[in-house]
Amino acid sequence: SYDMTMRLWDSFTGKLVAGPLRRHNASVRALSFSPDGARFVSGAEDGTIRVWDMHDYQITGPFRGHTSSIIAVAYFPDGKHVVSALFDESIRIWDVRTGALAKELLRGHNDAIDSISISFDGKKLASGAY
């Protein structure tokens, strides 16, 4: 959201459950729920990632190290890692428990990556670019 906020909605009733949630200093571009539904991750144009607890909306992070806007995020099935895709064509994997960069993947796109998805077994990652 360009107003730098997030909102949580009941997907069946459309009722606002929480929000607006404000902790980013730039537009929020990416969100993903953990496999167990206990947390969600957010990525923003300020290059930061935050992990939110669904019970009290406290955060872990920000995870820093990006040099450009985060466009997409996704949880791994193990719930311990998150992948982020950036405007600078890079993909990074983070340890959610520590905020440490676990791996930076090779750059294979010639433009900004705007979508990512993890296979159910966590062994494959698909990415799409502009």
What CA–CA distance (Å, rounded) separates 22 from 34? 20
What CA–CA distance (Å, rounded) separates 37 from 113? 26
Q: What is the pLDDT of residues 52-98, one digit of tens each?
A: 999 998 888 888 877 788 999 999 999 999 999 887 778 999 999 99
Q: How many domains does the chain have?
A: 1
Mean predicted lDDT score pLDDT of the chain: 89
**Quick one: average pLDDT of 17-41?**
92
Residue 34 has pLDDT above 80, yes or no: yes
Q: Residue 128 has what pLDDT? A: 86
Residue 116 has pLDDT above 80, yes or no: yes
Residue 106 has pLDDT above 70, yes or no: no
Residue 78: domain span:
27-129
- Residue 50 pLDDT grade (very low, low, confident, very high; cuts 50, 70, 90): very high
More confident residue, 23 or 106: 23
- Establish if 58 belongs to a structural domain: yes
**Quick one: average pLDDT of 106-111?**
74
Smallest Cα–Cα separation from 39: which of 58, 20, 52? 52
What CA–CA distance (Å, rounded) separates 28 from 72? 10
- Establish if 63 belongs to a structural domain: yes
- Establish if 106 belongs to a structural domain: yes
- Establish if 78 belongs to a structural domain: yes
Q: Residue 24 has what pLDDT? A: 85
- Residue 74: CATH number of its domain: 2.120.10.30
Q: Residue 1 has what pLDDT? A: 58
More confident residue, 33 or 88: 33
